[in-house]
Structure 1
Amino acid sequence: MTLEIILLLLLLGLIAGFLSGSVGVGGGVVMVPLAIWFLGYDQYQAQGMSLAVLAVPVTFIAAYTYHSSGHYLDWRYALIIAVAFVVGGYFGSKIAINLNQQVLKKIFGFVLLLVAIKMIFFSSAKA
């Protein structure tokens, strides 16, 4: 592994971590496209790498920062969602590895587009 690759990986992690901590995105939204563009990964490799990074509780510190700053986080809810996320992740990965990579890229992009449209045009603001 060259110094250039190490620096690129550190940059990818810093960008994903910063965006995760600041706006709640990082895994698929940031790491997958960056891994494809800058590391030359295919869609499967990029998704697998993103999941591997998140396998460790890398976002716990960021979540705790929100919680300790007065933005109450119900940890019981998070635990239930996390357990379901593991099950969903298992079945989702089983399906994804059997899809054509071009189809998988289109699905990935479509999901991002739907979320973006919803967030931009149909978000309700809480006071």
Structure 2
Amino acid sequence: MTPGLMSLLLSTAIASVPVPAELPPDFRGKGYLGVQFTQQEAGVEITSIMPKTAAFRSGLRKGDILKRINGTQLTGAVEVVPLISGRRPGSVLFLEVQRGELTLKMRIQIGDRPPEADVINELPDDDD
């Protein structure tokens, strides 16, 4: 895995660390967007979108760069998790997203963490 690569789900703060099969029950009832992302020089880049999630329904895309969440400018990927999981499902987030040359302002109603999100596939090493 390349240095600096961080893959996080928005309701957990884990970077390339195996996730237990059962997550603590306190992850339920916290806001969930449904994206994986990594820190890039340009900002926090979305690397994948989970199907049937708020991110999927909102039109977020792989490659979008998250710039702001609820007016808070993002300076690192570690800031994203508490800004989303600290909200209740059904809450509305206001995102500022860079997509190529466009800056998009999005209003997204976040959901609850689905049970299938409890299992995160480990990313393959670049050497594989």
> Structure 1 or 2: larger strand share?
2
- The answer to whether the superposition gives a TM-score over 0.5 is no
Larger-Rg structure:
1
> Structure 1 or 2: larger helix share?
1
Larger RCO (CA within 8 A; separation ≥ 6): 2
